[in-house]
Structure 1
Amino acid sequence: MISFLWAEDENRLIGKDNQLPWRLPADLKYFKETTMGHPIVMGRKTYESIGKPLPGRTNIVLTRNPSFKVDGCEVLHSKADFLSWAKKTDEEIFVIGGAEIYRLFIDEVDQLYVTKIFEQFEGDEYFPKINWENWQLVSKKPGIKDEKNPYDYEFRKYVRK
């Protein structure tokens, strides 16, 4: 099963200069709790923004660069390579970005985990448009706004209809 996990603002913004445009520790905690123990898939630029393999998860980096190698990560070079790899596991696999990788797997994804932040930020990367008629909201949980998490936000989960 392939799942997407991301946070976005009201305009589908997900990134600025290869970083998150906001500081929301509760979302980072949610990300860690949700993906722990599961394979995660990311593009090279997302990997470089994180800077290291995330512990407790199989880290897969997707890149067209055949010479790209990184300790602690499995490196794949095409959509076909990833789909072949994914068929060998029963685990839920989380695609964690960036925008180009989400676009690449938009037709294969089974579940969506989105942190919706009810603010508008400046940035340069947007989540691809989704036909929401194909998705059913199965859970929605409001986030707690406090001094460390200064925005209104909620955690949503969707399954493909």
Structure 2
Amino acid sequence: MKISLIAAVAQNGVIGRNNDLPWHLPDDIAFFKHKIRDQVAIMGRKSLEAQRGILPSLVNIAISRNYSYKVSNAIVVHDFKEAIEIAAKWTNEEIFVIGGAEIYNLAMPIATTLYLTEIHKEYEGDSYFPQFDRSNWKEFSRQNHPSDEQHEVAFDYVSYEHL
């Protein structure tokens, strides 16, 4: 089973600011939605709430330390191991981890695939994608997206496979 992390990451590792994205990249949002459509997605509570209920995934699993936290659009669990166990009951193919920073950190040791939108700019932020040793990963796809009237900055869609 694949454990895939998907994230948009600025040159300085920033992935968020104040529970939001510090950039506006509509094509990246479309790419994200396409990748997780009808898939199983694991995320932290704040990431779920930041999505405002617009996730196209088949099953949303939210991790929260709050045992009374309940939502209608996700299965709520209280640790990462439990999230993986539940996700594995829904699929034997690919599980997507979609954030935030703490959840990415928990998932990185078992990740098999990274789908990163590498943004060609540094941003101020308070959430960071975990550092990883690129020598342990093989890039198998890269597609450039130039800046244009809808996208303030150029970026690349890059896929990595753990060696």
Question: Unmatched 5+ residue regions in structure 1?
Answer: none
Q: Which stretch has the larger CA shift, 14-23 or 145-154?
A: 145-154
After the TM superposition, list the runs of 4 or more consecutive aligned residues in structure 1 that deviate by more than 6 angstroms: none
Structure 1 residue 56: Cα displacement: 4.4
In the other structure, the counterpart of 1:19 is 20
Contact persistence 1:39–1:91 (CA under 8 A) = no
Task: State how 1:120-139 maps to structure 2 within 5 Å.
Answer: 120-139=122-141
In the other structure, the counterpart of 1:77 is 78
Contact persistence 1:38–1:91 (CA under 8 A) = no
Contact persistence 1:53–1:72 (CA under 8 A) = no
In 1, the alpha carbon distance for the partners of 2:142 and 2:56 equals: 27
Q: Note the aligned Cα RMSD (angstroms).
A: 1.2
2:47 aligned partner, one-letter code: T
1:40 aligned partner, one-letter code: A
Task: State how 1:57-136 maps to structure 2 within 5 Å.
Answer: 57-88=58-89, 89-136=91-138
1:97 aligned partner, one-letter code: G
Question: What number of residue pairs does the alignment pair up?
Answer: 161
1:96 aligned partner, one-letter code: I
In structure 1, the residue corresponding to 2:106 is in which secondary structure? helix
* Cα deviations by residue, 1:53-74 (Å, 9 ceiling, x for unpaired): 5134211101111111100211
In 1, the alpha carbon distance for the partners of 2:133 and 2:120 equals: 20
Contact persistence 1:53–1:59 (CA under 8 A) = no
In structure 2, the residue corresponding to 1:122 is in which secondary structure? coil
Structure 1 residue 27: Cα displacement: 0.4
Question: Unmatched 5+ residue regions in structure 2?
Answer: none
In 1, the alpha carbon distance for the partners of 2:41 and 2:84 equals: 13
In 2, the alpha carbon distance for the partners of 1:86 and 1:134 equals: 25
Contact persistence 2:36–2:56 (CA under 8 A) = no
Structure 1 residue 91: Cα displacement: 2.9
Q: Which stretch has the larger CA shift, 19-28 or 79-88?
A: 79-88
| TM-score (normalised: structure 2) | 0.94
Which of the numbers 146, 149, 161 marks the counterpart of 1:147? 149
In 2, the alpha carbon distance for the partners of 1:53 and 1:43 equals: 15
1:77 aligned partner, one-letter code: H
Contact persistence 2:60–2:75 (CA under 8 A) = yes
In 2, the alpha carbon distance for the partners of 1:137 and 1:121 equals: 24
Contact persistence 1:4–1:95 (CA under 8 A) = yes
